[in-house]
């Protein structure tokens, strides 16, 4: 085998053998056997392949392509001055666009070739024409090496799903932007978006998920980056052992969130019938916890906390055994008196037109004994059994006559002085007789008087005394009657 020879560039050792910049060195001639596509597969891959005959790095970069494109002969003279080469133009769109353009240029095209087995080896003058093109290749290869130096292999994990990628981004924020990943205030990015990137870095993105959490009867809205209910409970510090969960602990939490109800296990003590009963429960109500403690309520029995209330950890709840009944009481309702004027009656005269009658009210009370202690009766209902009847009294407005035929000439002042000392409101010690002339109530009313005689005026009392004299003479006053004629 002939010794490998590399007149246009260094040799590159690969698993397939030594590779020259323009082909593989072999036994077919001084320049080896050119192989299509391998010229730039090592070390630059397919960056410089081109389908055009004029591209020295593509299909015609090898011997076969070049021989087909040009025949040996003198170089044509230029018609005028040769313009200087245009400087490279950076892609528009900033640093990110430049990175994409650079990455895109590395992935295009196919490797070229110099020839195929059985074809004539190119002549020296043809190889001389290839030399300037090889220099251009070397120049471009150096620029690509600069881009490769900025290329970084990083590991990106999004919600626990990792992948390895290559990037030209300078920091974490640019990497996320290039990957189209948007993060918000409730999301976690580690390292932070402002951290610089280096080859081999690991970046983690965890998206926040909203939880509508009802914890032990209290409703609130929280955020978590956990992807499962179990992870969220651990992240929020919620004790899940023995707890009631509205969904399973292994359930996944979608990005849109989840409604979750949690009732942790609590210790509740019931005091019933003189004994304490402590239970561990995740019940939603006191009534549920009471059943778990094996305590039954009968009749009017109740608890110190409402049965539909939420039992708290460490809470002591008393069971109240209630017995009792009812009692009914009746009471009189007093009647009213209505006084109506009557012009047919003499002034000072009152006549009862309708007697009054009291009403009757019935009230019901509840009697209760709590754990053997009687409570104050509580009124639970009132009923009017009979309404009261109003008393109606007619009051005379007709002027009172001052004279009574056959009695006006008598000494009424002397009689009054003897009976009562001349006092209209006088009452005897027994309370039976009253007024100037010491009428009893029955006689007074028979004479047309109303109420008590001692409450009437002196003129009315004298008028009725005269009527009594005309009817019965001086007999109503057995001791003082003789004064009438003196």
By C-alpha distance, which of 287, 276, 336, 344 is closest to 310?
287
| pTM exceeds 0.85, yes or no | no
Residues 132 and 169 in one domain: no
Residue 251 in domain = yes
Residues 188 and 235 in one domain: no
Residue 85 in domain = no
Confidence of residue 94 (pLDDT cuts 50, 70, 90): very low
Domain count, the chain: 6
What residues have CB less than 8 Å from 459, skipping those under 6 apart? 400, 402
Which pLDDT belongs to residue 296? Answer: 92
User: In angstroms, rounded to a whole number, what is the distance separating the alpha carbons of residues 350 and 240?
Assistant: 90
Name the residue with higher pLDDT: 32 or 160. Answer: 160
Q: Angle CA(152)–CA(190)–CA(213) in degrees, nearest 5?
A: 145
Range of the structural domain that residue 290 is part of: 266-320
Burial environment of residue 315 by CB neighbours within 10 A (0 to 12, 13 to 18, 19 or more):
middle
Residue 308 in domain = yes
User: In angstroms, rounded to a whole number, what is the distance separating the alpha carbons of residues 194 and 199?
Assistant: 16
Name the residue with higher pLDDT: 126 or 230. Answer: 230
Q: What is the mean pLDDT of residues 384-396?
A: 93
Give the domain-ending residue among 370, 394, 418: 394
Q: How many helices (H) and strands (E) does the chain have?
A: 9, 24
User: In angstroms, rounded to a whole number, what is the distance separating the alpha carbons of residues 478 and 410?
Assistant: 16
Task: Tell me which range, 38-47, 49-58, 125-134, is most confidently predicted by mean pLDDT.
Answer: 125-134
pLDDT tens for 55-91 read: 433 333 333 333 333 444 444 444 444 444 444 444 4
Name the residue with higher pLDDT: 339 or 147. Answer: 339
User: In angstroms, rounded to a whole number, what is the distance separating the alpha carbons of residues 242 and 282?
Assistant: 7
Residues 110 and 26 in one domain: yes
Residues 135 and 29 in one domain: yes
Residue 84 in domain = no
Residues 245 and 121 in one domain: no
pLDDT of residue 13 exceeding 60, the answer is no
Residues 39 and 107 in one domain: yes
Residues 306 and 340 in one domain: no
Task: Tell me which range, 7-21, 47-61, 139-153, 432-446, is most confidently predicted by mean pLDDT.
Answer: 432-446
pLDDT of residue 305 exceeding 80, the answer is yes
Confidence of residue 43 (pLDDT cuts 50, 70, 90): very low
Residue 77 in domain = no
Residues 183 and 272 in one domain: no
pLDDT of residue 245 exceeding 60, the answer is yes
Tokens 């003198």 locate to 74
Q: Kindly report the CATH number assigned to the domain that includes residue 217.
A: 3.10.20.30
Two tokens, residue 355? 């007697």
User: In angstroms, rounded to a whole number, what is the distance separating the alpha carbons of residues 193 and 175?
Assistant: 9
Residues 202 and 219 in one domain: no
Q: Kindly report the CATH number assigned to the domain that includes residue 341.
A: 2.20.230.10
Q: Kindly report the CATH number assigned to the domain that includes residue 461.
A: 1.10.530.10
User: In angstroms, rounded to a whole number, what is the distance separating the alpha carbons of residues 121 and 5?
Assistant: 15
Mean predicted lDDT score pLDDT of the chain:
76
Give the domain-ending residue among 148, 172, 193: 148
Which pLDDT belongs to residue 64? Answer: 37
Residues 144 and 171 in one domain: no
pLDDT of residue 377 exceeding 60, the answer is yes
Two tokens, residue 442? 């029955």
Peptide bond connecting 377 to the previous residue in cis, omega within 30 degrees of 0:
no
Residues 241 and 332 in one domain: no
Residue 287 in domain = yes
Of all residues in the chain, the percent with pLDDT exceeding 70 is 69
Which pLDDT belongs to residue 403? Answer: 82
Confidence of residue 372 (pLDDT cuts 50, 70, 90): confident
β-strand pairing of 378-386 with 391-398 = unpaired
Question: What number of other Cβ atoms are within 10 A of residue 339's Cβ?
Answer: 12
Give the domain-ending residue among 148, 171, 193: 148
pLDDT of residue 222 exceeding 70, the answer is yes
Residue 117 in domain = yes
Residues 345 and 389 in one domain: yes
pLDDT of residue 264 exceeding 80, the answer is yes
Peptide bond connecting 191 to the previous residue in cis, omega within 30 degrees of 0:
yes
> How many residues does the structure list for the chain?
486
Two tokens, residue 318? 């008393």
Residue 82 in domain = no
What residues have CB less than 8 Å from 188, skipping those under 6 apart? 204, 205, 206, 208, 225
β-strand pairing of 202-206 with 152-158 = parallel
Question: What number of other Cβ atoms are within 10 A of residue 305's Cβ?
Answer: 18
């Amino acid at each position: 085998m002939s010794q490998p020879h590399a007149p246009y560039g260094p040799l590159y050792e690969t698993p397939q053998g030594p590779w020259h910049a323009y082909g593989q060195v072999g036994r077919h001639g001084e320049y080896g056997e050119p192989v299509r596509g391998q010229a730039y597969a090592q070390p630059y891959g397919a960056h410089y392949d081109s389908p055009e005959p004029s591209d020295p790095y593509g299909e015609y970069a090898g011997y076969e392509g070049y021989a087909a494109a040009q025949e040996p002969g003198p170089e044509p003279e230029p018609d005028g001055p040769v313009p200087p080469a245009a400087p490279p133009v950076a892609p528009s769109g900033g640093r990110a666009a430049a990175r994409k353009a650079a990455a895109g240029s590395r992935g295009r095209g196919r490797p070229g070739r110099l020839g195929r087995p059985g074809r004539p080896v190119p002549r020296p003058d043809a190889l001389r024409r290839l030399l300037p093109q090889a220099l251009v290749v070397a120049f471009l290869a150096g620029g690509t090496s600069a881009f490769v130096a900025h290329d970084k292999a990083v590991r990106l994990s999004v919600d626990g799903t990792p992948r390895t990628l290559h990037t030209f981004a300078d920091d974490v924020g640019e990497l996320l932007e290039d990957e189209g990943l948007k993060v918000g205030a409730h999301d976690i990015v580690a390292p932070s978006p402002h951290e610089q990137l280096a080859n081999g870095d690991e970046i983690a993105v965890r998206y926040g998920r909203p939880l509508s959490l009802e914890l032990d009867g209290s409703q609130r809205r929280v955020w978590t980056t956990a992807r499962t209910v179990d992870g969220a409970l651990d992240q929020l510090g919620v004790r899940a052992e023995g707890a009631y969960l509205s969904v399973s602990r292994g359930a996944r939490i979608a990005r849109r969130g989840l409604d979750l109800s949690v009732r942790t296990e609590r210790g509740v003590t019931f005091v019933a019938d003189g004994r304490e009963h402590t239970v561990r429960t995740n019940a939603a109500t006191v009534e549920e916890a009471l059943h778990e403690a094996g305590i039954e309520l009968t009749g009017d029995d109740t608890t110190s906390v409402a049965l539909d209330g939420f039992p708290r950890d460490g809470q002591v709840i008393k069971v109240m055994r209630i017995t009792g009944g009812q009692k009914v009481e009746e009471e009189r309702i007093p009647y009213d008196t209505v006084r109506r004027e009557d012009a047919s009656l003499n002034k000072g005269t009152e006549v009862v037109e309708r007697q009054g009658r009291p009403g009757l009210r019935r009230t019901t009370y509840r009697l209760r004994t709590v754990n053997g202690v009687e409570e104050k009766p509580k009124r639970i209902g009132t009923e009017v059994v009979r309404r009261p009847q109003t008393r109606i009294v007619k009051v005379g407005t007709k002027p009172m006559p001052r004279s009574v035929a056959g009695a006006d000439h008598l000494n009424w002042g002397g009689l009054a002085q003897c009976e009562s000392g001349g006092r209209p409101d006088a009452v005897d010690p027994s309370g039976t007789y009253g007024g100037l002339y010491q009428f009893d109530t029955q006689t007074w009313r028979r004479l047309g008087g109303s109420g008590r005689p001692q409450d009437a005026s002196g003129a009315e009392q004298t008028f009725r005394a005269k009527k009594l004299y005309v009817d019965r003479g001086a007999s109503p006053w057995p001791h003082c009657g003789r004064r009438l004629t003196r």
